[in-house]
Structure 1
Amino acid sequence: MNKFLCILFLLLLPALVFSQNQASADRAIVIADSVIEVMGGQKNWDEVHCLRWDFFGRRTLYWDKWTGDVRIEIPLQKLLILTNLSTKKGFVYRDNHELMQEDSIAYFMERGYKIWANDSYWLIMPFKLRDQGVKLVYLGTANDASGIPCLKLELTFDNVGVTPDNKYHVYVNPKSYLVTQWDYFEKYTDENPSISNPWDNYQWYGKILLSDDRGTARGKLANIAVQEQFREGLFERP
């Protein structure tokens, strides 16, 4: 009898594990949907046309979400990258002079895409929790660095994005459903995070809620603006 029960348990174990994993993923999706809703909702996020912000004093980005045009100003390098996220074509200026070499332009188009992918994630990650290729798992409850009990999500990528091997732990306040912290892991197999930052100082920009404060170690994302349009020629010339 005991042998029969052991065999039965082994046969049922994969189904039990699958059921638990599915329940964890389902719970994570519900939490992610709640986060997006609290921050203005998917519809309002989709309707955002133009977004600008300063990335910790290092560079300024202008992004037309509808066309995919991006302008990246890097003052310390006297560099300006004007690119399109879909075509990866555009213009590059250094010291106000346009670069004409095709290999240099191709290099900076790719670099511009990677800069946008990184810098925008620091600003709008909560709105990307339900992106295609994002895998979410509910890890249970855990305190963030400030001691607030949170719902903890694990975020990995299914072969998408610039850095598909990355992993994040995302802490969600169960009362407000706002993200309060993320932990970044360079590899999804890493046990300890490379960096950990709070998500503080949420403010409304038009119809969406964004956080600009990543803690004393990192600083703030400054001059955030949601606009209806940018000036003519912004993505074509200095």
Structure 2
Amino acid sequence: MKRIFKKVLKIILALFTLLFLAFVALYLIYNEPLPEGSKPEKADILAQKMLTAIHHEAYVQTKHIEWTFAGGAHQYKWHKAKGEVEVKWGDYKVQLNLADPTKSHVFQNSTELLNASKSEIIVKAVNFFNNDSFWLVAPFKVFDKGTKRNVVLLEDGSEALLVTYSSGGTTPGDSYLWKLQNNGFPVSFQMWVKIIPIGGLEATWDEWKVMENGLYLPSSHTIGPVPLDMGEVRAYN
């Protein structure tokens, strides 16, 4: 038994060492400090240009949005007009009231939960929605309450839009540097976020689809070498 324990311990230590070295390598390759921005008035014009390119007016009028996340593990039917969203994962379904989550309904295997665990599931649903919906509609949130916008000059001479969320969501304080085409269409953003220890990690925003109501939404992203599929995205009135 001692020999088996030692072998298992060696394997665990070896795996830990490999993971640590991989993290160090990624950190050295990708990590960047948060850039300093300026010209907030010009940044607002740049943000408006981006919103125009992706048909913000259609987003305002959109009543329903559906998508999946994490390889289909999280499923969403968002009744945007009512401020309600159906969130499904595993055995759970939450009819989430976005204005007042305490009024939400939680089901496990079709049975409504009324015990103390209900609150924990609601919190989890809110966190899932905040994260997963951001990957779908982040460009439309650049003027949310608590946001700050600045212009950052890139090495190629182009201007990028730096958006910092000082409040709201699950992780306030996060910053995103949007890189745009000349017409304002988003191409990618770099992230400085609490849940990712590598600053400046870049995610693509170039797999766009036109919804049936004219709205542009992304169908997938790539974060470094990792793909992130949004599933069958739908938006309609």
Please give the TM-score of this superposition, normalised by the length of structure 2.
0.75
Verify: 1:35 aligned to 2:53, yes or no: no
The whole-number CA distance in structure 1 between the counterparts of 2:131 and 2:159 is 25
Match of 2:94, SS?
A: strand
Q: Name the CA distance, whole Å, in 1 between partners of 2:104 and 2:199.
A: 39
Alpha carbons 1:198, 1:214 under 8 Å: kept = yes
Rounded to whole Å, the distance in 1 between the matches of 2:159 and 2:219 is 21
Match of 1:66 in 2: 81
CA distance in 1, matches of 2:218, 2:100: 30
Whole-angstrom distance in 1 between the partners of 2:54 and 2:143: 14
Q: What is the aligned partner in structure 2 of residue 208 from structure 1?
A: 215
Matches of residues 42-191 of structure 1 in structure 2 within 5 Å?
43-57=57-71, 58-74=73-89, 77-88=90-101, 89-101=103-115, 103-142=116-155, 150-173=158-181, 175-187=182-194
> In the TM superposition, what is the alpha-carbon distance from 1:87 to its structure 2 partner?
1.5
Distance 1:191 1:218, change over 3 A: closer
Cα deviations by residue, 1:97-119 (Å, 9 ceiling, x for unpaired): 22220x22222222222211111
Match of 1:196 in 2: 202
Using the TM superposition, give the Cα deviation of residue 191 of structure 1 relative to its aligned residue in structure 2, in angstroms.
Answer: 8.0
2 CA distance for matches of 1:134 and 1:72?
Answer: 26
Distance 1:186 1:90 in 2: 28
1:142 Cα deviation after fit:
4.4
CA-based RMSD of the aligned residues comes to: 2.3
Gaps of 5+ in 1: 1-20, 144-148, 229-238
Give the Å deviation of 1:203. Answer: 1.5
Q: What is the rounded CA distance, in whole Å, between the counterparts of 2:91 and 2:85 in structure 1?
A: 17
1:156 Cα deviation from its structure 2 partner: 0.9
For each residue in 1:164-216, what CA deviation from the matched residue of structure 2 results, as whole angstroms up to 9, or x when unmatched?
1212121112x2311111122124xx8823x4211112121112111222025
Per-residue CA deviations over 1:2-25 (Å, capped at 9, x if unaligned) read xxxxxxxxxxxxxxxxxxx7x611
SS in 1 for 2:46: helix
Structure 2 unaligned residues grouped into runs of 5+: 1-36
SS at match of 1:126: helix
Letter in 2 for 1:219: L
Q: Is the 8 A contact 2:219 2:232 kept in 1?
A: no
Match status 1:224 vs 2:236: no
Give the superposition deviation at 1:132: 1.8
Task: Sort the Cα spacing of 1:181 and 1:96 in 2 relative to 1 into closer, same or farther, 3 A.
Answer: same
Q: Secondary structure at the match of 1:70?
A: strand
The number of residues matched between the two structures is 196
- What CA distance in whole angstroms lies between the structure 2 residues aligned with 1:27 and 1:108? 42
SS at match of 2:170: coil
Structure 1 length normalisation: TM-score?
A: 0.75
Report SS of the residue matched to 1:182: strand
- Aligned-partner residue type, residue 58 of structure 2: N
Identity of aligned residues (%): 19
